[in-house]
Amino acid sequence: MLSKRVKYAIKTLLFLYENGDGKPISAKIISENEKIPYKFLENILRELRQNKILKSVRGAEGGYKFLKDPNEITVAEIIRIVDGPIALIPCVSFYFYEKCEDCTDEISCKIRKLFVQLRNEMLPILNKSITDLEKL
Amino acid sequence: MLSKRVKYAIKTLLFLYENGDGKPISAKIISENEKIPYKFLENILRELRQNKILKSVRGAEGGYKFLKDPNEITVAEIIRIVDGPIALIPCVSFYFYEKCEDCTDEISCKIRKLFVQLRNEMLPILNKSITDLEKL
DNA sequence: TACTATTCCTACCAAATTAATATGATATAA
DNA sequence: TTATATCATATTAATTTGGTAGGAATAGTA
């Protein structure tokens, strides 16, 4: 399962996409509209900014807007930033690979083969962008 | 990500399938061959027995063997028993459905639509059986 | 200048989950 | 009777999750 952070992050990006008209949108507005706990949302927004998905404007009338083109922000990317791997087992992950301690031969491992297949099926769906998502 | 329990459970079932010739196989043998901590494995085996995947034979020369036909034991089923939902968000799960607190309209939710799609792509792969898996 | 609305930062915290371990009772083949 | 097993319950240490607290820094506006 994904964490709430990821779901909140995606909701936030969708909200910004649907309501962003040039002016930045404050965490308070997002929090109230999407029912995300304010302080928790701040953390998530910081993470998105640090990863160059969003940019922030400080001070009164400040808030957040896209830094990266929403057309190029994928759900997979958000999951990787917020939660980590897409793959269901670590030895199958591209970005967060880890060797299985108990595994003697990774190449012949039947379980690995299955989860490679699974990841390969999952990726095209998760590679949809925020703008794709809005059209669903 | 899946838990180690799930991976150990699948490994255990594959081992039983590949080495089961009528006689039960002990937890000790499985533990040593698959490098699964013995006591941890005992817990997993109990769970599989309680869910009618395996049956046990007590006493010396005892051990575990299939109760359910390995042809009909799917990876999805094992995940559900050991970890819970297949779906990546709770509002999309068949067997472990939970409403999102922050969601106003589940039907129109774009995020939900995406993860319904994802689950629908994942299921056929995870519905493979232990015998299918062995053939990979 | 003072006020207010905002982001930014570090740290903290409670509850749940994960990955085991410990201890010992019970059953059975040889 | 002994060795080999399963069976059952409880405990535990580490990590993750889902937040919260408090305040500093920044900037628009009266």
* pLDDT tens track for A68-124: 999 999 999 999 999 999 999 999 999 999 988 888 889 999 999 999 999 999 999
Whole-number Cα distances in Å, B45 to A88, B28, B36, B66, B73: 22, 12, 12, 11, 15
Classified as helix, coil or strand, B43 is helix
Task: Give me the pLDDT at residue A120, please.
Answer: 97
Q: Provide the 3-class DSSP secondary structure of residue B129.
A: strand
Tokens encoding B61: 């020369």
Residue B52 has pLDDT above 90, yes or no: yes
Residues in A touching B100 (Cβ below 8 Å): 7
Confidence of residue B104 (pLDDT cuts 50, 70, 90): confident
| Residue A39 neighbours by CB under 8 Å, 6+ apart | none
Separation of alpha carbons B33 and B25, rounded Å = 11
Is the CB of A84 less than 8 angstroms away from the CB of B121? no
Distance CA B81, CA B79 (A): 5
Domains of chain A: 4-66 (1.10.10.10), 82-129 (no CATH)
Residue B15 has pLDDT above 90, yes or no: yes
What pLDDT digit, counting tens, does each position of A11-48 carry? 999 999 999 888 999 999 999 999 999 999 999 999 99
| Cβ contacts from A onto B, under 8 A | 76
pLDDT of residue A101: 85
φ and ψ at residue B110, rounded to 5 degrees: -65, -40
CB-CB under 8 Å, B110 with A118: no
Phi-psi category of A46—alpha, beta or left, where left has phi over 0 and alpha has psi -120 to 50?
alpha
Question: What spatial distance separates the first Cα and last Cα of chain A, rounded to whole Å?
Answer: 22
What pLDDT, on a 0 to 100 scale, did the predictor assign at position B43? Answer: 96
Tell me: pLDDT of B102 over 90. no
Q: How far apart are CA B101 and CA A51, in angstroms?
A: 28
Residues of B in contact with A110 (CB under 8 A): 14, 133-134, 136
User: Does at least one atom of strand C sit less than 7 Å from the CB of A59?
Assistant: yes
The SS3 of residue A63 is strand
B52 Rama sector, left if φ>0, alpha if ψ -120 to 50, beta otherwise = left
> In this structure, is the CB of residue A35 within 7 Å of any atom belonging to strand D?
no
Which chain A residue has the Cα nearest residue B15?
A110
Whole-structure pTM over 0.75, yes or no? yes
pLDDT score at A20:
82
- By mean pLDDT, which of A104-108, B35-39, B117-121, B132-136 is the weakest? A104-108
| Burial grade of B97 (CB within 10 A; 0-12, 13-18, 19 or more) | exposed
- What residue of A is the nearest CA neighbor of B109? A136
Q: Please give the helix or strand (H or E) that residue A80 lies within, else none.
A: helix A75-82
Nearest Cα residue in chain B from A91: B1
Gap between the Cα atoms of B62 and B46, Å rounded? 14
